[in-house]
Amino acid sequence: MNRSNIYDSAACSSPILDEFSALIDYRDLVLQLIARSVKTRYKRSFLGVAWTMVNPLLTLLVLTIVFASIFRFPMKNYALFVLSGLLIWNFFAQSTSAAMNDLIWSGGLLSRIYMPKSAFTFAAIGTGLVNLILALIPYMLISLILGNPIQAAVLFLPIPILFTAMFALGIGLAVSAVAIYFPDVMPMYDVLLTAWMYLTPAIYPIDQVAENIQVILRLNPMYYYVEAFRTILYEGKVPSIEILLIGFLVGIVSLIFGWVVFNRRARDYAYRI
Amino acid sequence: MHTESESTMNTQTAYKPIISLENVSIRYRVPREKVVSIKEFAIRWLQRRLEYIDFWALNGVGFEVHRAEAFGIVGRNGAGKSTLLKVVARVLYPTIGRILVCGKVAPLLELGAGFHPELSGRENIFLYGTLLGYTHQEMDRCFDEIVAFAELSNFIDAPLRTYSTGMVARLGFSVATAHFADVLLVDEVLSVGDTAFQRKCIDRIEAFRQKGTTVLFVSHSMKKIKSLCQRAVWLSEGVIKAIGPAEAVADQYLAASNQPPVG
């Protein structure tokens, strides 16, 4: 055992710091939880893990056909535009939602075995990352077929993905903490996500909306992540330093905020679930 | 890894108890009326109409348990026995009071909570092991031993949903006791598998105790308490009713519960 074997409730200074070292000790649990989610999602199906790639793409394809035939934005490869925007949006939306659900539905475990509770949140975001990376493979294939091959700028792609993951972690931790006290937050959050998606220029270009609305849209943190991600993947360019900087700052603030909110009352969760 | 933790234990435990509870109280706070939505909560909070019913599952419990001791916990349903084990297992943080546990704790409660039915036995060993706080490497090292003890070598790659209840329980016990632990928490009789396997479980717990493991043992069977434990505590509605030699506490408890129920 690499961790200290003495547990003294009086010496547990602050749950906000204690949770951090506990999470490091339990890093293998996070990996196991990710493996569990990825493996079991399509376990009984014939295609298995391949569905992780096929499923989001089929969904996205439907959306693309619908949107491409309704809105006719003057741009080439609108399908890829929508697809790239939705890839990063879905990563955020699905992983934060999963973070909350995993924690609530694993409630039985929390009241039986000791473990750092944030492991579930980290695992949910980690699972989202795996799914995103798997979905990137067919995206790049489609991109090549449609004559918009990936550029060298793709080497920068991990940066916006990392920033988005930080932001998602923060939001995931915060909504999970609230959902433990108020389970109603779970369906509410799903509704909120739908509204949030339309307020994010994921399926439409921001310069297609009126100037005064653009100002409002720029207050939405997700704008910066979608923009940075898509600039690299769809336009094949390196995003502006301004976009990246805002993405980083918002990400780090969100992560700290979520961490504090989640762990401030983490000791009470076993009483609640 | 084991030797390391054992040697550090030896220096400490000559003087200190392994588990010590000082005035430990656990309060469950239940809203008088169920408030589930934020809106409702906000309104009530503003109106200062949030009322709670406090339920003290444990109330000022204090005792010490020493190295290599088998310590029984008896009491009626709802007396706080399981809550007490959860405090020792770090699941519940005391509302009031202090708990000190020196050493690695292995909970043998509701074995296999955390198993996933769609994953194979092999995958579940790693999942459950890491849930209990071991690293992947530590699980790797004792993997073969776990499978052998659970007698599941032929089924280890089949999904857990194809296992019988007994097989699942065997795997759970095997994973939970794969590593040496300073404290074992045993809830209820070990109703794991058939009689032969139960024998194996009790032998393993006994072997742990020979090496210095402390066992906290919850049971409704006074016969088991008397035969397995040196000391015991009797809990009633969250407070200690009696504590002392297992024989005496068990007799007191039996005498009290054999009296005709007076409401």
Query: Is B73 among the domain residues?
Result: yes
pLDDT value of residue A144: 87
pTM for the whole thing?
A: 0.87
B108 token code pair: 């043998």
Residues of the domain holding B242: 2-104+180-258
Query: Is A10 among the domain residues?
Result: no
The mean pLDDT of chain A is: 87
Collapse the DSSP code of B88 into the 3-class scheme (helix H, G, I; strand E, B; otherwise coil) and give the result.
helix
Q: How many domains does one find in chain B?
A: 1
Q: How would residue A183 be classed by pLDDT, with cut points 50, 70 and 90? A: confident
The rounded distance, in Å, linking the Cα atoms of A179 and A101 is 9
pLDDT of residue A29 exceeding 60: yes
Query: Is B211 among the domain residues?
Result: yes
Q: Which amino acid is at B38?
A: I
Query: Is A13 among the domain residues?
Result: no
Query: Is B34 among the domain residues?
Result: yes
Task: Count CB pairs under 8 A between chains A and B.
Answer: 116
Query: Is A16 among the domain residues?
Result: no
pLDDT value of residue A110: 85
Query: Does the CB of A13 have a partner CB in chain B at under 8 Å?
Result: no
pLDDT value of residue A39: 84
Residues of the domain holding A60: 28-272
pLDDT value of residue B191: 66
Chain A CB contacts of B185 under 8 Å are none
Query: Is A11 among the domain residues?
Result: no
Query: Is A199 among the domain residues?
Result: yes
Strand duo B214-218 + B183-187: pairing: parallel
A129-164 pLDDT per residue, tens: 999 998 898 888 888 888 888 888 899 999 999 999
Q: How many domains does one find in chain A?
A: 1
Find out whether A141 and A225 touch, Cβ atoms under 8 Å.
no
Query: Is A252 among the domain residues?
Result: yes
Nearest-by-Cβ selection for B91 from A6, A36, A113:
A113
Quick check: B127 and A112 CB within 8 A?
no
Find out whether B238 and B56 touch, Cβ atoms under 8 Å.
yes
Query: Is B135 among the domain residues?
Result: no
Question: Chain B neighbours among A 188-247 (CB < 8 Å)?
Answer: none
Q: What is the chain B residue with the closest CA to A2? A: B1
Chain A: give the shortest CA distance to residue B133, in Å.
Answer: 6
A113 token code pair: 């075995």
Chain B CB contacts of A110 under 8 Å are 91
Query: Is A264 among the domain residues?
Result: yes
Radius of gyration for chain A, computed over Cα atoms and rounded to the nearest angstrom: 20
Query: Does the CB of A183 have a partner CB in chain B at under 8 Å?
Result: yes
CA B149, B152, B153, B157 dihedral sign is negative
Find out whether A184 and A175 touch, Cβ atoms under 8 Å.
no
Query: Does the CB of A104 have a partner CB in chain B at under 8 Å?
Result: no
**CATH number of the domain where residue B18 is located:** 3.40.50.300
The residue ranges of chain B whose pLDDT is under 70 are: 1-15, 32-36, 48-50, 189-193, 259-263
Quick check: A43 and B118 CB within 8 A?
yes
Query: Is B248 among the domain residues?
Result: yes
Bridge partners, residue B100, by sequence:
A8, B20
Quick check: B104 and A1 CB within 8 A?
yes
Collapse the DSSP code of B53 into the 3-class scheme (helix H, G, I; strand E, B; otherwise coil) and give the result.
strand
Nearest-by-Cβ selection for A5 from B29, B104, B132:
B104
Average confidence (pLDDT) over A91-99? 95
The rounded distance, in Å, linking the Cα atoms of A175 and A267 is 17
pLDDT value of residue B248: 93
Bridge partners, residue B244, by sequence:
B232
Chain B interface, best mutation among A3, A9, A25, by max B CB count within 10 A? A9
pLDDT value of residue B261: 53
Query: Does the CB of A186 have a partner CB in chain B at under 8 Å?
Result: no
pLDDT value of residue A59: 72
Find out whether B85 and B218 touch, Cβ atoms under 8 Å.
yes
Q: Which helix (H) or strand (E) holds B101?
A: strand B96-102
Percentage of chain A modeled with pLDDT above 70? 93
Chain A interface, best mutation among B11, B37, B116, B131, by max A CB count within 10 A? B131
Q: Whose CA is closest to B72, among B246, B189, B188, B247?
A: B246
Strand duo A6-8 + B96-102: pairing: antiparallel
